Amino acid sequence: MKRLIAAVLIACLALPAAADQLSLNEISNYLNNLKTAQGAFTQINDDGTISSGQLYIKRPGKMRFEYDPPEQALVLADANAVVIIDKKSNQPPETYPLSKTPLSLILARNVNLSRARMVTGHTYDGTATIVTAQDPDNPDYGTIQMSFTENPVELRQWIINDANGGQTTVILGAFEAGVPLKNSLFDPGRALRNRDR
């Protein structure tokens, strides 16, 4: 009898946590309704170093990471490409197809986390709902693990595990959504012209 009571109590204690987990539809709707946003971020790199800066998002397809000094890097996602510009270097920027990075899952025109084989993990840690997702057609491109809080739903962090085995964590600070952002903010050509001045 004591075991039965204990089991019922444990089940009852688990109910609030389960109720607080966001559904995949709720998260998909949140991302689809997130048109523009900006705010501070902290980045933990694969080698353990820490960077910070400002992040700008304009969905679909656009993202900008401006890193604080002493770093001089700028990362832009636009026109289906991710461009990494080192302002201190005279070398050409590194360019990767956006579709081959897990960031494309956040920046897609229509996010549908219920799509078959896209989500490989969906848990609740007592504070946040954690969703691990991949491109279902190209799982070798890596995964993105996103953390969302509720009331209101907000993206708080993501961890990218890339195709080469590297891991990058981005922790979001206070985030302002619905801000007007010009397309030129995400233009690699404009950023390069500014670098070369």
Long-range (24+ apart) CB contacts under 8 A made by 40-49 are: 40/172, 40/173, 40/174, 41/65, 41/170, 41/171, 41/172, 41/173, 42/170, 42/171, 42/173, 43/168, 43/169, 43/170, 43/171, 44/168, 44/169, 44/171, 45/168, 46/166, 46/167, 46/168
Assess if CATH 2.50.20.10 describes domain 22-195: yes
- Greater confidence, 126 or 6? 126
pLDDT in tens, 109-127: 999 999 888 999 999 999 9
pTM for the whole thing? 0.83
pLDDT of residue 49: 94
Query: What is the domain partition of the chain in residue ranges?
Result: 22-195
